[in-house]
Amino acid sequence: MQFVSLSPLDLALAAVLIVVLAALSWAARFAVERELLIAGARTVVQLSLIGLVLKAVFAHVHLLWISLMAAAMVLVAGREAMMRQERRFQGWWGYGLGTLSMFVSSFALTVLALLTVIRTHPWYQPQYAIPLLGMILGNTMTGISLALDRLTQTAWDQRRMLEQRLMLGETAMEAVARIRRHAGRSGMIPVINAMAAAGVVSLPGMMTGQILAGAPPMEAVKYQILIMFLISAGTGFGALVAVWLGSRRLFDQRERLRLDRLSAPKHR
Amino acid sequence: MLELLELQTPLFGPVSLTLTRGECVGIAGPSGAGKSSLLRAIADLDPHAGTARLDGRDMTSFTPAQWRRRVQLLPADPEWWLARVGDHFPRRLVEAARRLQLPDGVWDWPPERLSSGERQRLALLRALAREPDVLLLDEPTANLDADNVAGAETLIRESREARQVCVIWVSHDRGQLTRVADRRFILRGGRLVAETEQACSSSR
């Protein structure tokens, strides 16, 4: 495969663009120049570090190291999914719910894809396993946090309606059914839109990267289709599990609406 | 028959009380005394200590949905969420609706069209349509004019006589409780205090 290797000077030229943008932001009083420069610096540092870690992991193909890295990725993604919710479950549930849903769907799908579709040797070949898991996790995280955020926020907004339905003798699951459907749907809409727009409105980032790195377009396309399906399935399964567990956690064993299990939203 | 046994939440209690079939107990008390919380706990909508029994059966031996169907709580501000008023009813109580001066076409109205008084009268019918054994009424006539207050009181009395429904009636209107209730209590400091004749006369 042929590709143009980037020198530090090439990257410095691109960095100049960010500095120019920061200067314009300062001149136009957008007041985001500080955040912009910090974010730019974080991109360089974080990606370089992950590059070093990947280099090390690729050099020592060992299930333990790969499992450790994968576990760290899921734990960070779980935290991020929790932080994105306005009203989250209090205590361990707030963290555990998203992380568990993500673990179930992302891990299962990554392992499935490695064993049955890509069939590398060994199956945990990090060059495939880590990027695959990363991409599925990133999207699943968005889907799960959207679905849970919608579930808890709507339950809060419609708490009087939920309790009225309980008073009239509906079961908790009957009362919350409509809210569950909406929450599940809002978690899945982004991936459905992404699949529908793929290649027409936008060239997906992974495919673009592969083509830039010298891969033949049709090979890149095949991988992109695989990734899209895995991402959609991961997001969908993750959102289903999260909404299923979350809607149960909204009620106790006597089917009382327990919004005291949600934290108050932070004022922004 | 409804029994409350040491029912208690952080907001009231412990409260113990036994109602015979068809009996109506009136509960008054200052706002914030926990009257609505007491009704919510009886309907098993809030976590609580103690328990309630219906015909000798503990609430936990019913499913929550069964319990709440038989022990209907009519909240002070009822909610309507389906497209038409009639969709909220297992069956339409047309005759009772006429007696509460509700328009004949009200069943096909969207709930947004209802006035607060119409909401309250329809919510009473909605609870009665489920044929409960116990009615827990939280200020059931607060938004009604005098004619409709009398109509609602009559309708509830007829349910007690015809179907032996037990009623716990929460109201700030002592005069109304004197009319409708067999026994009257005041919820004060979280406890039920029997309203004596003396307390009655001094409050007038």
Per the CB < 8 Å rule, is B127 touching A165?
Answer: no
Residues A27, A117 within the same domain: no
Write out the H or E segment, with its range, that includes residue A46.
helix A33-59
Same domain, A40 and A134: no
Q: Is residue A191 a part of any domain in this protein?
A: yes
Which spans in B43-182 are helix H? 64-70, 94-99, 116-128, 146-163, 174-180
Whether A256 and B75 lie within 8 Å, measured CB to CB = no
Q: What is the mean pLDDT of residues A213-226?
A: 89
Last residue of a domain, one of A27, A42, A59: A59
Position with higher pLDDT, A51 vs A266: A51
Q: What is the mean pLDDT of chain B?
A: 93
Residues 224-263 of A with CB under 8 A from B: 252, 254-258
Residue A198 per-residue DSSP state: B
B72 in A contact zone (CB under 8 Å):
yes
Q: Is A182 on the interface with B (CB under 8 A)?
A: no
Is there a contact between B63 and A167 if contact means CB atoms under 8 Å apart? no
Residue B198 has pLDDT above 80, yes or no: no
Element (DSSP H or E) covering residue B17? strand B12-19
From A10, A34, A59, the end of a domain falls on: A59
A268: in domain: no
**Res. A222: pLDDT tops 70:** yes
pLDDT at A267: 58
Model pLDDT, residue A2: 63
Residue B197 predicted with pLDDT over 60: no
| Segment A14-40 mean pLDDT | 93
Q: Are residues A190 and A169 in the same domain?
A: yes
In tens, the pLDDT along B64-90 reads 999 999 999 999 999 999 999 999 999
- Based on the domain organization, do A153 and A213 belong to the same domain? yes
A185 with A136, same domain: the answer is: yes
Residue A100 is assigned to a structural domain of this protein: yes
Instruction: For residues A251 and A261, give the distance between their C-alpha atoms in angstroms, rounded to a whole number.
Output: 9
Q: Which helix (H) or strand (E) holds A223?
A: helix A217-249
Task: For chain B, give every domain's residue range.
Answer: 2-203
Q: Quick one: pLDDT band at residue A1, thresholds 50, 70, 90?
A: low
Please give, rounded to a whole number of angstroms, the shortest distance from the CA of A258 to a CA of chain B. Answer: 8
Domain that holds residue A49: 1-59
What's the pLDDT at A18? 95
Tell me the per-residue pLDDT of B29-55, one tens digit each, with 9 for 90 and over.
988 899 999 999 999 999 999 999 999
Chain-chain contact of A256 with B45 (C-beta, under 8 angstroms) = yes
Task: For residues A37-47, give the mean pLDDT.
Answer: 93
* Burial of A17 per CB tally in 10 Å (0-12, 13-18, 19+): exposed
Q: How far is B7 from chain A (nearest CA, A)?
A: 16
Q: Apex CA A132: angle with CA A127 and CA A137, to 5°?
A: 140
B122-146 burial, b if ≥16 CB within 10 A, otherwise e?
bbbbbbbbbebbbbbbbbbbebbee
Average pLDDT of the segment spanning A226-241: 93
Question: According to the model, what pLDDT value does residue A6 have?
Answer: 87
CATH 3.40.920.10 fits B2-203, yes or no: no
**Burial group, residue A89, by CB count within 10 angstroms (0-12, 13-18, 19+):** buried
Tell me: do A34 and A152 sit in the same domain. Answer: no
In angstroms, the Cα distances linking A128 to A7, A54, A88 are 25, 11, 34
Q: Do B45 and A167 touch (CB under 8 A)?
A: yes
List of chain A residues whose C-beta atoms are within 8 Å of the C-beta of residue B81 = 158, 161, 164-165
In tens, the pLDDT along A92-138 reads: 999 999 999 999 999 889 999 999 888 888 999 998 899 899 989 98
pTM: 0.87
Q: Is the same domain home to A199 and A152? A: yes
Are A106 and A222 in a shared domain? yes
pLDDT at A268 over 80: no
Tell whether A240 is covered by a domain: yes
Domain for residue A267, yes or no?
no
Inform me whether the C-beta atom of residue A175 falls under 8 Å from chain B C-beta atoms.
no
Asked if the model's pLDDT at residue A152 lies above 60, the reply is yes
The whole-number average pLDDT for the span A241-266 is 94
Residue B139's region, left for phi above 0, alpha for psi from -120 to 50, else beta, is left
pLDDT score of A31: 87
Mean pLDDT of chain A: 91
Task: Report the domain count for chain A.
Answer: 2
Q: A176 — contact with chain B (CB < 8 Å)?
A: no
Mean pLDDT for B140-157 is 94
Of A42, A59, A76, the residue that ends a domain is A59
Are A2 and A104 found together in one domain?
no
